[in-house]
Amino acid sequence: MARLVFDIETTALPLDNFDASQQEFLFREAEKLAGEEERLARREQIQQWFSLWPLTGRIFCIAMLNADTCRGQVLFTADEFEESATEDSAVQFVPCIDEAELLAAFWDVAKHYDSIVTFNGRGFDVPFIYLRSAVLNVPISRKDWLGYRYQVEPHCDLADQLTFYGGGGRDGATRRFNLDFYCKVFGIESPKAHGVTGYDVPRLVSERRYREIAEYCLRDVRATTQLYHIWRERLSGIK
């Protein structure tokens, strides 16, 4: 069974993409604050959250690997791109003109896989990809990735599996940790080991350092792939 491991990186859409009524809705909470400094700080915070919401953000990069062969692609948007050498010939870096082209290329790959592996894909990556594809009218080749939560086919979300679906609550033995924490505990090189995190993506986009974002996203997927194999061998009970 072919399994695709993937991760996305997102950025905020420009504020001027939204009309006056949309902006009023987005910043309504901030406008209730009494002090001007508080209002401005809250507005800035809300705008930083735009990248987390598929109606106010866009997908900049998708990295994906075959869970068994570790061959794959990294799709990323770039207005101009100079090809550079990569140490891993098994992974192809593919620049795309825009988000629509990126999503179309992703769905073309996804249709060849039976199932997917993510870290927090049910809560973020999959609904984000679904909604951005719908907004841009990009055909979705797999619409079954948010099916029954308590199963690992066709979607194995490691954030669910490693917390046993969160049955013990935040303070119990099933507390959820971030990918960086799990990697360090299980002896996997953290995606953040090279000094780039998801918080750096907006800055790297503004500096046109597209390849660095793509490489960071790929490190996320490689770490997720290694974590998946540990989960499968030590915890899953799958033969």
Where do the structural domains in the chain lie, given as residue ranges?
3-7+65-236
Look-up of token digits 């990126």: 102
Q: What is the pLDDT of residues 52-106, one digit of tens each?
A: 999 999 999 999 999 999 999 999 998 766 555 455 689 999 999 999 999 999 9
Ranked by mean pLDDT, the top range of 84-88, 153-157, 190-194 is 153-157
Burial class (CB in 10 A: 0-12, 13-18, 19+), 170: exposed
Q: How far is CA 221 from CA 6, 21, 45, 118, 131, in A?
A: 6, 38, 28, 8, 22
| Contact between residue 123 and residue 156 where contact means Cβ atoms under 8 Å apart | no
Q: What is the pLDDT of residues 159-183, one digit of tens each?
A: 999 999 987 677 789 999 999 999 9
Q: Going edge to edge, which strands form the sheet with 3-12?
A: 91-96, 72-77, 57-66, 3-12, 115-118, 155-157
Would you state the pLDDT for residue 203? Answer: 87
Domain range 3-7+65-236, CATH class: alpha beta
Would you state the pLDDT for residue 88? Answer: 65
What does DSSP say about strands 72-77 and 57-66: parallel, antiparallel, or unpaired? Answer: antiparallel
Q: How far is CA 7 from CA 11, 24, 44, 122, 157, in A?
A: 14, 32, 26, 12, 11
pTM over the 0.85 mark? yes
